[in-house]
Amino acid sequence: MTGTPEEKSLKGLFIRTYGCQMNVYDSERIRDVLRPLGYTPVDAPEAADLVVVNTCHIREKATEKVYSELGQLKRMKEASGGRMTIAVAGCVAQAEGEELIRRQPAVDLVLGPQAYHKLPEMIARASRAIGDRLETEFDTIEKFDALPKTREADGPTAFVSVQEGCDKFCTFCVVPYTRGAEISRRVDDIVIETRSLASQGVREITLLGQNVNAFHG
């Protein structure tokens, strides 16, 4: 059986998520961004055309764990004949930037938590071997404007981001440096997203933010 043209065009997507609830939300939104490109979730990285490692930078151990996983993915990529694309997203990507590519050249794309809406463009550039492989700008509102307004629900509960970033710059915390300045989403966009989830059977929604009390609508 050769499969339909639609089945042939589907590409495997595997997302590994480390860290907080916001990263879980971001991974779900990365999936939403990539769905129109024909990417469908798979259960193992070996089956994926694109692997996204969504990272956490709160503890040094978490960062080193990412590098360890990238070593494993490098071997999988080599076994696939280079077919696999490896993207590192999240806070380690924001903090490490080009160092990620230097330490692990098998990494194709590096994008911070405010740049994952640019992933389709980055994938296209990578396929043509042109353009920048690194996106770490703090374009939070641009990101939310670019994301699909509705989402595909995954069970009876869901996370919704209402605020991102932090302006407090506590001595012990990396969040302002990896997530950027405080910014609140527009209320109308939050309502559209939550109604979309509710219409699909979601019954419990947790509102997220690095500093939720800073939300000002």
In order of their start, the domains of the chain are 5-214 (3.40.50.12160)
pLDDT digits (tens, 9 = 90+) for 68-96: 999 999 999 999 999 999 999 999 999 99
pTM: 0.90
| More confident of the two residues 64 and 165 | 165
Contact 162, 209 (CB under 8 A): yes
Is the per-residue pLDDT at 108 higher than 80?
yes
Percentage of residues in the chain having pLDDT higher than 70: 94
Q: Are 174 and 91 in contact (CB under 8 A)?
A: yes
Q: Residue 40: its pLDDT value, please?
A: 96
pLDDT computed for residue 153 by the predictor = 93
pLDDT in tens, 172-215: 999 999 999 999 999 999 999 999 999 999 999 999 999 999 99
Q: What is the H or E stretch that residue 121 is in?
A: helix 119-127
Predicted confidence band at 131 (pLDDT cuts at 50, 70, 90)? low
Please determine, for residue 140, whether its predicted confidence score (pLDDT) is greater than 80.
Answer: no
Going along 6-71, which residue ranges are E strands?
11-17, 39-41, 50-55
pLDDT of residue 5: 45
Please spell the DSSP secondary structure of 56-117, one letter per residue.
--SSHHHHHHHHHHHHHHHHHHHHTTT--EEEEEEHHHHHHTHHHHHH-TT--EEE-TT-GG
Whether pLDDT at 137 is above 70: yes
Overall average pLDDT of the 26-47 stretch: 96
Q: Which whole-number Å values give the CA distances from 159 to 42, 89, 129, in the listed order?
A: 22, 19, 35
Q: What is the band of 128 on the pLDDT scale with cuts at 50, 70, 90?
A: confident
Q: State mean pLDDT over 27-53.
A: 96
